[in-house]
Amino acid sequence: MQINSETVRDIVEHRLHQADIEKLLHRLSEDERAQLFFRVTEFVRRASALIDIGNRVYDTLSLDVLFPRLMEVVSETLNAERSSLFLYDADTQELFSRVMQDSIVGDVRFPSHLGVAGAVFASGQAEIIENAYADARFNRDIDEKTGYLTRNILCVPIKNKGGDVIGVTQALNKRDGAFDLDDQKLLEALSLQASAALGNAQLHENLERARREEALLLEVGSAIASEIHMNPLLEMIVDAATRLLDAERGSLFLYDPRRGELYSRVAGGVVGGAIRIEANAGLSGECFTRNAPINIADAQTDARFNPEVDRRTGFHTRNMLVAPLTTKNGNKVGVIEVLNKRHGAFTQTDTRRLVALGAQAAVSIENAMLFEQVSEARSYNEDILRSMSNGVLTLDAAGTILKVNESASRILRCQETQLIGKSVEENLGSRNPWLAGALRQVGSAGKTVIAMDTELVLEHGPAVSVNATTLSLRNAHNQPIGFLVVLEDVTREKRLRSTMSRYLSHAVVEKVLENDGEMLEGVDREVSVLFSDIRGFSSMTETLGARETVSMLNQYFACMVDVVYAHNGILDKYIGDMIMAVFGSVFPGEDDVDNAVAVGTKMMSALGELNARRLAAKHAPIRIGVGIGTGRVVAGNIGSPRRLDYTVIGEKVNLAERLEAATKFYGAGILICDTTASRLRRSVRLREIDIVRMPGMNHPVTVYEVLDHHTEESFPRGELVLPAFAEGIRQYRLRQWSRAAKSFRQALDANPADQPSRIYVERCERFGRQPPGADWDGVASIRTS
C-alpha cells in the first residue's frame, strides 16, 4: 500500500480519528507500518526544526549570530555534513556569508552570478545536484584548498514574504544517501522561516553601519574643522577615510596651481617625502581633472593604474577608490584615494561616503592652506625683521612700542622685553626731543620724516649716530594705526668717514664705506706710488721762520692734495714737506698709472700758479721734485691697536722715494720708472734719462723724465734737445764716447740748462780718458741723498 505525504500530515495534525488510524494500520504490512512510523517521526522532527529555527532566529538581530545558528539547524535537520548560507549585497552585487576564521567572524564574498549558489540566486529555483564534480558550475578550489570532498548539494533560494530572492541556502553531503524533494521542501520551509529574521538582521546591520559611519563622519568633521595645521589635518583625513571605508591604505594629493601638479604630503599614512605628478596624469589626475570619483575594482588590469609605486614599496594594490577634494564654491584643492577594501570591492555607498568626507576635508584643507600662507607670511616678515641691519620699532597710535627687532635692541642697548609695552616717550623721547617731534609731525600731517646723521642719546652708554625715518603705519583701508620708526646706525660709518677723509678723496671714502671697509685689510696688489718734495726746504725755513713756514706749507699742501684727490689718489701721509700719494691701493683701476703721472704733471702746473701768487706777494718761489714708481706692494691698516694708518709698504715705495731724490741729481721735475712708463695708456711726452742702480736696490731701473708740464720757457728748444739727447744715449751705450759727447753738446747748445746732457758730457769725457771694463752694462750708480 502506498503511503503519501498527505496521509502522514493528516496523522500528525490529528485530522484522522483513532478508529481510522487503526483501520489504516490493520491494512498495512509490518514493513509498511515501520515505514509509516518513520515518516511520521521524521515529519514531527522536521516540524520541530521549523519551530526551533523560529525560536533561534527571532531573539537576535546580529548576522554574526544568525549565520552559524541557521547553518547548524540546516545541517542537523537535513542530516548533512555541512551547510552554508549566503545573503545578497545589493551595493556590491555579491553573495556573502559569515564564517569563523581564527576566532574572528569574517566575510566570504563572490559575485552573485557565479557557481551553483549564483545560479540558484539568479533563477530563484531550488536545485539538487547528485554529483557536484559533474556540474560545471561547481567550484572545486575550496575542496582542493581544504581537502574536503563535496559529493552532492542541495541549494534553495531564500525568499522574503514578497517573493524576492534575498539569498541562498546550501546543504552539502547528505549522510544517508542523496537529497530528495522532501529535503528540498524542508530546506525551502526552513529558509522561508528564517528569511524574515535574516532580512531584519541585514537591515539592522545596514542601519547600524550607517549610524556608525554617520557618527564617524560627524566626529571626523568636527575634528578636521578644528585642526588648522596642515600635516596633522592631512593625517587625520587619511586615517578617517581608511577607517570609514575599511581600507588598508590611503593617500592624499594637494594641487599646486603654480606648477600645475598634484603632490602628496601624506601617502600611505606617512607624512613627508613629496610625490609629484602632473595634474592630469594617472587615476588621481583624471579624478582631479574630471572632478568626479573613480572606483577601480581591479587596479592591476586598469591601464590608468601606475604599478611603479607598488614595485617600489612592495605593496600590492587590488582595488582603489579616488575622490576629488572640492569645496562648495567649486575650488578644487586635491584628491584623496583609498586602497584595498579589506572585504570585497568598494561600493557605490563607499563612493558616496568618500565624496562626502572629501567635501568636508576640502573646506578644512582650504582653511589650513590659508593659515599656512598667513603663518609663512608672518614668519617671512619676522625673518626680514630679524635679518635687517636697521633697527625697526612699531608703535601704536598712542606711541606705545609694540614690536622691536634684534637690530633695534642692539642699537638702543636694551632687551626687547624692556621696550615692548612702554611708550617711546618714556624710553627715548625725553632725551631725544627730535624723535617726539617727528612722531607729532607724522601723526598730524601723515608725511614721512627723515632725520639724517642724528645723535640718539641713550640711557646706558654713549650716544649713537643714526639716520632715522619715521612714517605712518596704516591698515588695508589706509587708516593710520600707529607709527614705524627705522633706525640706521651710522656711528661706525661716521667715525670711519672722519678718519678716512684725512687721506682719501670723498669719492674713495664713499666707495670704502659702501664695502664696509673690507678693502682696508691687508692685500697684495700693484699700485703707483708718488713722492713729491720741496727743494731747499731747510734753508727756506731758516729764512721764513716758523709762522711763515707753516703758512707756506698749508698753502702748498692745499694745492697739491686737491690735485691728488681729483685723480682718485689716496693721500698716504705727509713726511715733513714731503707728500706721499698712492693710486690703486683701495680700488685698483686701469687708469691708476695714468692718474699718478697726471697728478705729477698737474702738481707742476699748480705749483706754477702758486708761485705766481707768491712772487706777486714778494715771496720766494717753491721748487719741487716728483718721483713715481709702479709695482706690487702690501696695502692695509698698519700699526698698533692704539694707532693704525692705512698705507703701503714694499720695494716700489722705496723706489718712488729714490726717484724723487734723483730729480735733484738730474735736475728734472718728474722722474718715473720703466714699469710706470710701460703701463701708461695715454700718450705722455717722455725721454729716457738713464739706467740706474738705486741705493738699497738689487736690480737696475730705467729712468724716464716726464716733460708734459714744460713750456717753451721752462724747456726751450725741446724739438732740438730731445733728438740730440736720444742719439747721444744710443752712442753712449755703444761705447762711442766721442760721438755721444758730440750729441750731448748739441743738446746743451740748444738748451744750456739741460742738466742730464751736462752729466752725460762729463761721463763721456771721463770714459774717453779711462774706458770702463768689458763687463760695463751702461748702468750708473748715483747718490740720491
Which residues of the chain fall below pLDDT 70? 1-67, 98-107, 195-206, 208-210, 212-214, 216-227, 267-274, 375-383, 385, 429, 494-521, 641-644, 784-785
CA angle 720, 722, 727 (to 5 degrees): 100
Q: Round to whole Å and give the CA distance between 635 and 586.
A: 8
464-474 and 449-456 strand pairing? antiparallel
What's residue 101's pLDDT? 40
104-111 and 94-101 strand pairing? antiparallel
What's residue 737's pLDDT? 94
What's residue 640's pLDDT? 73
Taking the model in full, what pTM does it have? 0.45
Question: How does DSSP classify residue 460?
Answer: S
Q: Round to whole Å and give the CA distance between 112 and 93.
A: 6
CB 565 within 8 A of CB 506: yes
Sign of CA dihedral 183, 188, 190, 191: positive
Q: Round to whole Å and give the CA distance between 667 and 655.
A: 18
Q: Round to whole Å and give the CA distance between 484 and 396.
A: 9
The full 3-state SS of 250-292, as one line of letters, equals EEEEEEECCCCEEEEEEECCEECCCCEEECCCHHHHHHHHHCC
**β-pair partners for 640:** 643
Question: How does DSSP classify residue 133?
Answer: G
List Cα–Cα distances, 322 to 289, 295, 301, 313, 355, in angstroms: 12, 6, 16, 20, 9
List Cα–Cα distances, 710 to 194, 603, 605, 714, in angstroms: 132, 12, 9, 6
What's residue 316's pLDDT? 85
Q: Which residues contact 785 (CB under 8 A, 6 or more apart)?
A: 661, 695
Q: Round to whole Å and give the CA distance between 567 and 561.
A: 10
What's residue 102's pLDDT? 40
389, three cell numbers: 641691519
Q: Round to whole Å and give the CA distance between 358 and 690.
A: 95
Place of cell 707728500: 579
Q: Round to whole Å and give the CA distance between 745 and 760.
A: 9
CB 449 within 8 A of CB 436: no
The full 3-state SS of 608-643, as one line of letters, equals HHHHHHHHHCCCCCCCEEEEEEEEEEEEEEEEECCE
What's residue 103's pLDDT? 44
Q: Round to whole Å and give the CA distance between 336 and 250.
A: 7
What's residue 736's pLDDT? 95
Give the residue among 296, 361, 360, 362 at the shortest CA–CA distance from 332. Answer: 362
Q: Round to whole Å and give the CA distance between 320 and 638.
A: 77
What's residue 772's pLDDT? 92
